Amino acid sequence: MGRIIVDLSKEKWQCEHIRPGQGVKEEFDKIPCERQGSAFNWNYVKIPGDVYTDLQRVGEIDDPFFGQNMHKMKWVQEQEYWYMCKFNIPVEMQGKKINVVFEGVDYSCQVWFNGYELGGHEGMFSEFSFDISPFAKYEQWGGGSNILLVRLDPPPRNFERVSGMKFNYNGDYHTGLVPFGIWRPIKVVATETVKIDNTRIESYVNGDKASVSFDILVDNLVAKSENMTVELTIEGKNCDTKAIIKSIDTLIRSGENHIMFDVQIDEANLWWPWDMGDQNLHIVKIKVLKDGHIVDEMLETFGIRQIEMAMNPGYTKEEVENPWTFVVNGKKTYLRAACWGGQPSLLYGKNSDEKYERLLHMVKEANINHLRIFGWHPPEVPAFYELCDELGITVWTNFTFSTNVIRKELPFANAMINECMAIVKERRNHPSAIYWMGGEEVSFTDAHAESGNKKLMEMIGEEIKRHTNTPYGLASPLSNETGIKMGYKPKESHHANGHYYGAGHLFMEEFYPTKDCCIIPELTAASAPSVESLKKFIPEDELWPMGMSWAYHWADIDYLKILNVEVFDDVKMGSLEEFVEATQLAHGIILQYALEVYRRRKPYNSGVALCHFITHWPDIKWGLVDYYGDKKLCFDYVKRTYAPLLISLAYDKRRWEEGEDFKGSIWIVNDYYDTLKNLTVKYKISDENGEVILKNIESIDLVESASSKEFTGIECITPKGKTFNICVELLNDRNEIIAENDYTLLIGSQSKAKAICKEMRLDAEDRQKKMPGFYRYFPEKWV
């Protein structure tokens, strides 16, 4: 008795592509299991994976990410793809209910088993299955006695048709191809006629005590009701929680049965974000037994934690109506966040658990405590959430409604909502999953304001309450001009992307402080990856001077030049190496300024998310870490700026005239729940030659826990030269540096620099009016 699983991802798979509709005409669905020649020349492929990576692996296409190859490969998405797997079914499965389970297919498919058509499925995120018990063969042939065929349809090309059921592949976020493939594992699962479907786990925390509820869905597939025992065992996975065993004798009726357990735990080992405590994890083993024999058994890892939302102080009801402060186990936290920007690769076949592990350790190294998966990306795979559980990184997951009007027809809306709930039910027990959100930029244009977008986001929120206690937000941002037209309040949330996209119109010191709101879910800056990384995807003859492939890979070349001037008074175009280094340093300096503005506003501001930590193909844009896993120079700026204990210099402008009276102030932001006493602040101002023109030491008696406060001012006469440097340090009572920061400011005229940047921007806009898309950078190509 009990459950038996065969992971077909470990079996050999082959694939053939053909014109849509032609595969059935050729009777691919009737290919038999015995050795014969019709499939000898089918490609060998990997599951999970994607079509493009499989075709590249066998040499049918070149690297899609190199140069402008993506546009040369659009033919790929005009075909259908037949996946074939021959395998043996263990004889132990005989007499059980056998299902073939698909954890995720992007986007739609039809399935045959041993010549029988099982059915189809549409939707990227929802698991689906088919009963193959009547058609299963138990002979143990050398090449497999059973054959599974999956016809993957050409991918959808109109995102409005699949919004919420596939991630957005349109806009400036992706250049040429629609990703598709069997992106999650396929398994053969044999169970008795009574099986555990899934379990919902909720925790309620009161100090060091906790109550954990388990809602176990047991499915009885036959009409007969039976008396059975459901047993639950809780043990610590990485902590010393002693085993807790509970059981219930109950009648399992035909259909769905919800079996409830409430477990009280004194001195509970709680799960915390990494900067607030330990990441204690537990394992629950659930068994269904009949007469002492195991009918079914499942394991689930969870953490004991409670997430609530609190109103941000300092705002009226006319300004804000939603709570935006995250409260973990009764303690408020500040989100030092990044938009994840993944998956690590747009093409699923290029992803791996090893990539996730390396990148998420880098997230923690950068002092990031929270990741936001926004609506342009798919919710992540289990390995991602498992690693975040272990590392103490909290996750905000958007559903994949992004920058579009969403269809209002009820059948379509129901399909979208069901897909969203499938996402929730698979991920809800991860302690790292602390927030769900409906849409990304679905309150962004006048068309959105007139649509049913807001209503759909509200419908999703109502449905989510049936499946999880984890908080839900409607959309991001809420408080832009369109959002206010739709009825949202003006100081809920803003995207702080206007400095980048408006490069040349406003300097950073003029833009970021004006975003007065509770939370900043997105803040954009950009740079080029290293020269070594550029050589991997930019053809040699286009590296320098820049060729069309730069713009094809998202380089906003005008913006990068303008921001170099804003930060350095120079476009830095003397060489490829100089330009790349300058963009990465400018990226870091802009993020340092912007992120510190919002961190100093704690607790009125409760979080900020830079955009992005990574990006999912080799680009010249947002990531702190490039597609190949290399850190940019801006990484260290964020690491310093996101330190849980931050010493920060507030200043009004980047340029100061020679002889002008420079003024600034020193703040200390403490995200820890420890009060610090008997501290020392040191600061030093040096000219461009390193000569110290001012230094000082001041004592601080107390820095309160979870606080942000201004402590002292700095004034000096701006020296001669082009730059001057300010170094600030915070020392403990043992004279050890516990926080430090560094700033290089410019000597010159702010108004003249603004005039230069403004002129550059107007010139860029003029060219943009004359030339479409990225041809504005290379008008000679527009012939």
As a dihedral over the C-alpha atoms of residue 216, residue 222, residue 227, residue 229, rounded to 10 degrees, the angle is -30
- What pLDDT is stored for residue 772 in this prediction? 80
Beta-carbon contacts of 266 under 8 Å, excluding residues fewer than 6 positions away, are 208, 209
Q: Is the model's pLDDT at 783 over the cut of 90? A: no
Would you state the structure tokens that stand for residue 269, as one six-digit string?
A: 């080992």
Residue type, 702: L
Are 15 and 114 members of one domain?
yes
Q: Per-residue pLDDT averaged across 509-515, rounded?
A: 97
Per residue in 165-193, pLDDT (tens digit) is 999 887 665 667 899 999 999 999 999 99
Q: What residues form DSSP beta bridges with 737?
A: 731
- CA-CA distance, 109 to 539, in Å (whole number)? 37
Are 215 and 200 in contact, with CB atoms under 8 Å apart?
yes
Per residue in 102-156, pLDDT (tens digit) is 999 999 999 999 999 999 999 999 999 999 999 999 999 999 999 999 999 999 9
Are 714 and 671 members of one domain?
yes
Ramachandran area for residue 609 (φ above 0: left; ψ -120 to 50: alpha; else beta): beta
Per residue in 498-508, pLDDT (tens digit) is 999 999 999 99
Q: Is the model's pLDDT at 628 over the cut of 80? A: yes
- CA-CA distance, 690 to 585, in Å (whole number)? 20
Distances (CA, A) of 39 to 34, 115, 671, 705: 11, 15, 61, 67
157 inside domain = yes
535 inside domain = no
Are 126 and 245 members of one domain?
no
Would you state the structure tokens that stand for residue 450, as one six-digit string?
A: 């007139």
Are 375 and 168 in contact, with CB atoms under 8 Å apart?
yes
Q: How far, in whole angstroms, is CA 467 from its chain's centroid?
A: 22
What percent of the chain is predicted at pLDDT more than 90?
90
- What pLDDT is stored for residue 218 in this prediction? 97
Per residue in 583-622, pLDDT (tens digit) is 999 999 999 999 999 999 999 999 999 999 999 999 999 9
- What pLDDT is stored for residue 173 in this prediction? 56
Out of 233, 268, 302, a domain closes at 302
Per residue in 204-228, pLDDT (tens digit) is 999 999 999 999 999 999 999 999 9
- CA-CA distance, 649 to 631, in Å (whole number)? 25
- CA-CA distance, 460 to 442, in Å (whole number)? 14
Out of 247, 276, 302, a domain closes at 302
Per residue in 270-302, pLDDT (tens digit) is 999 999 999 999 999 999 999 999 999 999 999
Are 226 and 162 members of one domain?
no
Owning domain of residue 702: 648-748
Are 179 and 216 members of one domain?
no
Q: Per-residue pLDDT averaged across 446-475, rounded?
A: 94
Q: Per-residue pLDDT averaged across 754-759, rounded?
A: 98
Out of 302, 327, 351, a domain closes at 302
- What pLDDT is stored for residue 38 in this prediction? 78
Q: What are phi and psi of 276, to 5 degrees?
A: -120, -15
Are 153 and 177 members of one domain?
yes
Are 143 and 243 members of one domain?
no
- CA-CA distance, 757 to 571, in Å (whole number)? 10
Are 186 and 233 members of one domain?
no
106 inside domain = yes
Confidence of residue 711 (pLDDT cuts 50, 70, 90): very high
Are 131 and 168 members of one domain?
yes
218 inside domain = yes
Confidence of residue 161 (pLDDT cuts 50, 70, 90): confident
- What pLDDT is stored for residue 404 in this prediction? 87
- What pLDDT is stored for residue 605 in this prediction? 98
- CA-CA distance, 5 to 265, in Å (whole number)? 33
Per residue in 44-95, pLDDT (tens digit) is 999 999 999 999 999 999 999 999 999 899 999 999 999 999 999 999 999 9
329 inside domain = no
Question: How many domains would you assign to the chain?
Answer: 3
Per residue in 462-482, pLDDT (tens digit) is 999 999 999 999 999 999 999
320 inside domain = no
Are 658 and 701 members of one domain?
yes
495 inside domain = no
- CA-CA distance, 658 to 26, in Å (whole number)? 80
Are 41 and 132 members of one domain?
yes
577 inside domain = no
Are 155 and 206 members of one domain?
no
- What pLDDT is stored for residue 775 in this prediction? 86
**CATH code for the domain of 699:** 2.60.40.10
Q: Choose the most confident range, by mean pLDDT, from 21-35, 164-178, 628-642.
A: 628-642
**What's the chain's average pLDDT?**
95
**CATH code for the domain of 69:** 2.60.120.260
**Residue 335, SS3?**
strand
Confidence of residue 649 (pLDDT cuts 50, 70, 90): very high
Angle (CA) 54-57-59 rounded to 5° is: 110
